[in-house]
Each structure stands twice: as structure tokens, then as C-alpha cells.
């Protein structure tokens, strides 16, 4: 069983993957592997189809998230993924993330939906810009582990942004209630 989401979905391994095409491929495979199609088949065949369906769903989830997509490309290029062994985030990034968390806590405390939306828009723009820079960098580094390792700080920044969005989503839910 492979865990490379690109291989699972039969897509070219690239950071700027066409998510619409990936979704179509996911749906096609999901339909083909649906349990109803395997009724009356031997238990081993039903089990294999179920395992493959689980793998297809996991691959789709991985490709939708730019962090796990980047990690899949790094792993495929021979770069060991271990946050403890990766380069440490710059003090400037750490300070910025701390300030953003404080700003989030402030707008959350004030129940400021407009401020929350503005903060989210700003960080979504930053994430898009970072992804736009990563796409050609991954393409240029294909197969070169040293060049791929050089992308680790940017992938780390993307992770920090993703963690921020988890807290942001909780704040959004809280303000919507």
C-alpha cells in the first residue's frame, strides 16, 4: 500500500496541483471503490476495496492541504520529515505569530467579527502568496534533496499559518454562536 497521495490519485507530483482535477479523480475512484459495487464479492476483495477507498480519501485530504501536500513532495524527494530536525523558525516569524495570536485573542474578546474577518483575510492572502512562491520552488527542486531541504523554512511558515487558522476557525465558530 502506498502513502504517496499523488500516486494514489494518479496525479503528477507537484505543489500547484490542479485541485479541481484531483477532486474529480477522487470522486471517480470513490465511486469505483464504493462498497455497493462489492456486494456478493469474496471477503478479501471487499476488504481490499475498503482499504483502497480509505487510502483514496486520505490522499484527497492530503492534497487539499498545502502543508501535507508539501510534506508529500518533500518525502518523495528523500527529505526526512521531522519537525525537531528541521530548521528552527526565525525569531521574527515566532514573534509575528505570537503577535497574531494576541490580536486574535483581542478580537475574540471584543467579539469583533469585522476585525476577525480582516485578520483572516490578511493571513489567507499571506498563505496564497507563500504557496505561489513555493510552487515554482518545488518544481525547480524536483529530485534534488538539497534544494528540497532549502524549502523547509517556508514549509515551516506554512505550518505556523495552518495552526493559526485552526485557532481562527474556533474564534469564528465562537462569534457565530
CA distances for 67 relative to 40, 108, 110, 114, 159, angstroms = 40, 26, 31, 28, 6
Residue 176 has pLDDT above 90, yes or no: no
Assign 85 a pLDDT band (cuts: 50, 70, 90).
Answer: low
For 150: left if phi > 0, alpha if psi spans -120 to 50, otherwise beta; the answer is alpha
| Ranges in the chain annotated CATH 1.10.287.110 | 5-64
Distance CA 169, CA 139 (A): 31
Assign 87 a pLDDT band (cuts: 50, 70, 90).
Answer: confident
Rounded mean pLDDT, 22-49: 91
Percent of the chain's residues with pLDDT above 70:
98
| Ranges in the chain annotated CATH 1.20.1280 | 91-176
Distance CA 141, CA 151 (A): 9
Burial (CB < 10 A; 0-12, 13-18, 19+), residue 177, is exposed
Assigned fold of 5-64: Helix Hairpins (1.10.287)
Architecture of domain 91-176: Up-down Bundle (1.20)
- List, for residues 3-25, the tens digit of each pLDDT value: 799 999 999 999 999 999 999 99
Percent of the chain's residues with pLDDT above 90:
81
- List, for residues 116-170, the tens digit of each pLDDT value: 999 999 999 999 999 999 999 999 998 899 999 999 999 999 999 999 999 999 9
Amino acid at each position: 500500500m502506498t502513502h504517496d497521495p499523488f500516486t494514489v490519485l494518479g496525479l503528477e507530483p507537484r505543489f500547484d496541483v490542479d485541485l479541481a482535477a484531483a477532486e474529480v479523480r477522487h470522486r471517480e475512484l470513490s465511486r469505483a471503490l464504493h462498497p455497493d459495487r462489492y456486494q456478493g464479492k469474496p471477503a478479501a476483495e471487499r476488504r481490499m476495496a475498503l482499504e483502497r477507498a480509505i487510502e483514496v480519501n486520505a490522499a484527497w485530504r492530503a492534497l487539499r492541504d498545502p502543508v501535507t501536500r508539501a510534506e508529500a513532495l518533500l518525502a518523495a524527494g528523500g527529505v526526512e520529515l521531522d519537525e525537531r530536525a528541521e530548521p528552527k523558525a526565525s525569531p521574527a516569524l515566532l514573534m509575528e505569530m505570537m503577535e497574531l495570536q494576541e490580536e486574535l485573542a483581542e478580537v475574540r474578546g471584543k467579539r469583533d467579527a469585522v476585525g476577525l474577518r480582516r485578520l483572516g483575510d490578511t493571513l489567507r492572502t499571506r498563505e496564497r502568496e507563500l504557496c505561489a512562491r513555493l510552487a515554482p520552488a518545488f518544481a525547480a527542486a524536483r529530485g534534488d534533496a538539497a534544494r528540497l531541504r532549502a524549502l523547509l523554512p517556508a514549509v515551516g511558515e506554512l505550518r505556523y499559518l495552518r495552526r493559526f487558522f485552526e485557532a481562527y476557525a474556533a474564534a469564528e465558530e465562537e462569534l457565530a454562536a
